[in-house]
Amino acid sequence: MADTPANVTLDTPENGAEPNGAEPRGALVDDLATRIQADIMTGEHPIGSWLRQSALATRYGVSRTPIREALRKLQAAGLIELHPHKGAIVRGPTAREVRESYQVRAELEGLATELAASWITQRQLDELEEAERLFADAIAAVRHGDDADRESRTAAEDRWRRANDMFHEVIQEAAGNRRLRATIRDVHRSFPRQLTWATLSEDPRLLEENCREHEAIREALDRRAADEARRLMISHVRRAGELVARWFERQYG
């Protein structure tokens, strides 16, 4: 710790990470865990790279102690491996794990959809429609943006992901089972999100297919056809999973 240049550890919020010191000074570890996880998701900490405690400490402007606690949380979440006396390594899934995860997720989202058919409100159905609209917009942006404009492309990615998340989250919300939702999130977050996008965005036809599947699900929910909605959702997720797994194999296998 001798080399910290700006060793002004005074309570002045120097590093600017906390704009307004709104930090309740107890949520620091949880905040760190969230940030590190986000940096893993975006690929800033690539799969297979080492997470050095001191590097993270200087990066986020804290000491190693809270970093270590945050790493424990991430370990429990399955995002990293902790090798004693060696360090933490960002854990990437295998193709098999991708398939397994999507199989589990398909079942859970199927259940969520089945439940949602009973409880979904008109307002939530409208939100699903809204999500579809955003989804279609994002697809259009991809088509036109092509590779010419890289910035609009990542913007489209962001919009697409938001629309997709919105669709699934509204349904999970409508299902009214918090534990179910939390479980789906746990399964989902075990591997970087960019995977789904990277897979589907390669071929706009896949995106459109995805969109149509969403429509079909919403339509079934609108008719309160629980079983059908469930089946549609399961095959929807499974299909996406198979595509991701294949892409993953081409990439790393």
Partner DNA sequence: TCTAGCCACATTGCATCCAACCATGTCGAG
Partner DNA sequence: CTCGACATGGTTGGATGCAATGTGGCTAGA
Window contacting DNA (CB under 7 A); options: 23-31, 126-134, 175-183, 187-195: 23-31
Candidates 5, 16, 19, 84: give the one binding its own copies (CB under 8 A): 84
- Binding test (CB under 8 A) with its own copies, winner from 35, 52, 59, 68: 68
Piece of 20-28, 40-48, 139-147, 241-249 that binds DNA (CB under 7 A): 20-28
Q: Per CB under 8 A, does 100 bind its own copies?
A: yes
**Residue 152 interacting with its own copies (CB under 8 A):** no
219 binds, among DNA, its own copies, none (CB under 5 to 8 A by kind): none
| Gap between the Cα atoms of 140 and 51, Å rounded | 38
Asked if 107 is part of the footprint of its own copies (rule: CB under 8 A), the reply reads: yes
Residues 6+ apart with CB under 8 A from 29: 66, 69, 70, 73
- Residue 5 CB, nearest distance to its own copies (Å)? 27
**Residues between 26 and 55 that touch DNA (CB under 7 A):** 26, 28-29, 50-54
DSSP secondary structure, 117-138, as one string? HHH--HHHHHHHHHHHHHHHHH
Decide: is 101 part of the binding site for its own copies (CB under 8 A): yes
Query: Is 11 near its own copies (CB under 8 A)?
Result: no
Among 69, 130, 157, 242, binds its own copies (CB under 8 A): 69
* Residue carrying structure tokens 């629309």: 163
CA geometry: angle at 246 spanning 245 and 247, to 5°? 90
The tokens describing 107, both together, are 């079942």
List 1, 7, 25, 146, residue binding its own copies (CB under 8 A) = 25
Q: What six digits make up the tokens of 239?
A: 């299909």
Q: How many CB atoms lie within 10 A of CB 215?
A: 16
By CB under 7 A, residue 62 contacts DNA: yes
Distance CA 99, CA 105 (A): 10
Residue 90 sits in the site that holds DNA (CB under 7 A)? no
* CB closer to its own copies out of 35 and 162: 35
Q: How many residues bind DNA (CB under 7 A)?
A: 26
Which is closer to its own copies, CB of 17 or CB of 76?
Answer: 76
> From the CB of residue 7, how many other CB atoms can be counted at a distance below 10 Å?
9
User: Which amino acid is located at 42 in the chain?
Assistant: T
DSSP-H helix ranges across the chain: 28-41, 53-60, 64-77, 95-119, 122-145, 150-175, 178-188, 194-200, 204-222, 226-252
Size of the site for its own copies (CB under 8 A): 32
- Give Cβ neighbours of residue 180 (< 8 Å, ≥ 6 apart): 108, 111, 112, 115, 172
Question: Which option in its own copies, DNA, none does residue 136 bind, with CB closer than 5 to 8 A by kind?
Answer: none
Site for DNA, rule CB under 7 A? 1, 9, 11, 25-26, 28-29, 50-54, 62-66, 68-69, 82-88
